[in-house]
Structure formats: C-alpha cells, structure tokens
Amino acid sequence: MKVKTLILRAPGTNCNVETAFALEQAGAGVTTIHVNQLIRGEERLADYRIFVIPGGFTYGDDIAAGKVLANELRLKLGADIQQFIADGGLILGICNGFQVLAKAGILPWLPDGVAPVMTLTNNDSGKFECRWVYLAANEKSPCVFTRGIERMYLPVAHGEGKVVADPKVLPELNAVLYYTDEHGDRLAGYPHNPNGSMGNIAGICDATGRVFALMPHPERHIRGSQHPRWPGEGAKEFGDGFQIFRNAVDWAKKL
C-alpha cells in the first residue's frame, strides 16, 4: 500500500504540485488538502502518515512570512499536530513551510504559551534570493529525511530565510543542513549563505528526527536534468533532492 501523504494548501501556496509529484515518484499516495478542510473536520490529520507544508507565500506572507498560517495551525490544529507527532508521523516543511513550522512553535515544539525560540526573518541582502546553493548535511543529525545524504545542490527562492535565534539556543536547534561553498566550507558567507542565517543553518529537525524543515527546495531537483549544468556535466538519474522524499516514504512504510 502507498503511504498516505497530506500536502497542506492555503491561499498563496504555489509549490504543492511539484511537491506532490516528487512524493508520488517516491511511492507515496498524495492528497492535497486545504487548511480549512482540516479545521472544519472534513479531513483528519490522523489518517495520514506524512504531513507536508510546501513552499509559496501563504496569505501573501502578510505580517511576516508564514505567520498567518502558523497562527491557524497553532490555535486551531495544535493538539492534532502534537498527537500526529506522538503517533510517529513525519512532518516536512519546505521554504514557506519552514517559516510556518517555526512561527507556530511546532519546530522546535513548544508548550502552549511559550514564545518561539527561533524565527526566520528578512535576508541580509535585502532582496529576494532565487538561485542554487550548496548544502552539507549534519552527519550527527537524527533526521529521518536526510539519511545517507552528505552534500546537496538545491535552489532557493525566498526573501525571509534568515534563521535567527538566541546564541545560547542556537546549538540546541538540531541543525540538519548547512549552507556551504562548492568546497563544503560551512562557514562560507554570502553569496553561499544566501540569507545570512546564523550558523549557516539551512534546515533543522526536532529531537525525534521526524519533523524536518528546510529553506531550499528539494522538489525542484528530483531529476538529474533539472541540474542547471547537466548538459555539460551529464545528468544523473535522480536529482539531489529526491532522496529526501524517498527516505520519508521508506520510513513511513514501516509504521
């Protein structure tokens, strides 16, 4: 049986089709659901094994990127999401999904009434960054999604991707991915770190490794021919981002 996967949609979501395709290629059975369907109880998060918040500009990124959807999840679906995690489900947030999970206090998970310990804010460059970046995976991370991954080359497309946290909290964020230069230097600055994220952090997970979010877009590099230099370097069968989706589906099959 295919792993039941829910892709959440809200006004302004624009990467749900590509994300659904990537998961389907990895063997998932995907349903795209509007957030209001969950809020009204027409669909139940508990019926799925993977929950994905894809990229886009939900609610126009009014107030701050992802903030409105984050408030909806926190205030109207917080208990359902907490139970979903407790039951062993996987959660993936991509770009706007990262912003939503962080601002809802879902990643890292925080008790009700506790302010988020990190956020994502405006890029240091003061502009929308839309290009490809090099990434290195944290080999010590418990993240389910990045197992077997060492390096990746993925596109970014965001204006508010800078990870900001209290320096005392930063080491506790369970960093999964770091921006690097082409040689793998995790301390490389702009333009290799496209937004100025503290610690060059590009993605984090929770303590279980089952809740993961990243700013780059793995769904935009699942085929070798999507690499910008494939005509000269040759195309691999799969793009660097595909392993993230395959890992998620393979893990969820065991649940």
Q: What CATH number does domain 3-252 carry, 3.40.50.2300, 3.40.50.10710, 3.40.50.1370, 3.40.50.880?
A: 3.40.50.880
If we measure between CA atoms, which residue out of 200, 197, 214, 210 comes closest to residue 86? 210
Residue 3 pLDDT: 98
Task: Provide, for the chain, the percentages of residues in helix, strand and coil under a 3-state DSSP scheme, each rounded to the nearest 5.
Answer: 30, 25, 45
Query: How confident is residue 166, by pLDDT bands cut at 50, 70 and 90?
Result: confident
26 neighbors 246 (Cβ within 8 angstroms): yes
- What is the per-residue pLDDT for 112? 67
Q: Does residue 178 contact residue 202 with C-beta atoms inside 8 Å?
A: yes
The pLDDT value given to residue 109: 76
Bigger pLDDT: 10 vs 110? 10
Confidence of residue 113 (pLDDT cuts 50, 70, 90): low
Question: What single DSSP character describes residue 42?
Answer: S
Mean pLDDT in residue range 22-34: 98
Q: Tell me, what's the pLDDT at 1?
A: 83
pLDDT of 183 higher than 70: yes
- Can you give the pTM of this predicted structure? 0.97
| Domain boundaries along the sequence of the chain | 3-252
Q: Residue 226: is its pLDDT beyond 80?
A: yes
User: Residues 186-220: pLDDT tens digits?
Assistant: 999 999 999 999 999 999 999 999 999 999 999 99
- The mean pLDDT of 76-99, rounded to a whole number, is 97
Q: What pLDDT shows up at residue 118?
A: 92
Do the strands 3-9 and 50-53 form a parallel or antiparallel pair, or are they unpaired? parallel
What confidence category does residue 104 fall into, taking pLDDT thresholds of 50, 70 and 90?
Answer: very high
The answer to whether residues 188 and 125 touch, using CB atoms and an 8 Å cutoff, is no
* More reliable by pLDDT, 141 or 166: 141
Q: From residue 218, give the alpha-carbon distance in Å to each of 39, 67, 100, 116, 242.
A: 28, 22, 17, 26, 7
Assess whether pLDDT exceeds 70 at residue 147. Answer: yes
The identity of residue 105, as a single letter, is G
Mean of all residue pLDDT scores within the chain: 96
**Residue 255: per-residue pLDDT:** 82
Residues recorded for the chain = 255
Q: Where are the beta strands (DSSP E) in the chain?
A: 3-9, 28-34, 50-53, 90-94, 118-121, 129-137, 151-158, 162-165, 175-180, 201-205, 211-214
Is residue 102 within 8 A of residue 118, CB to CB? The reply is: yes
Across the range 90-107, mean pLDDT stands at 96
3-state secondary structure of 22: helix
Q: Which residues are catalytic?
A: 95, 217, 219
Question: Region 15-37: what's the mean pLDDT?
Answer: 98
DSSP structure class, residue 115? P
pLDDT of 116 strictly over 80: no
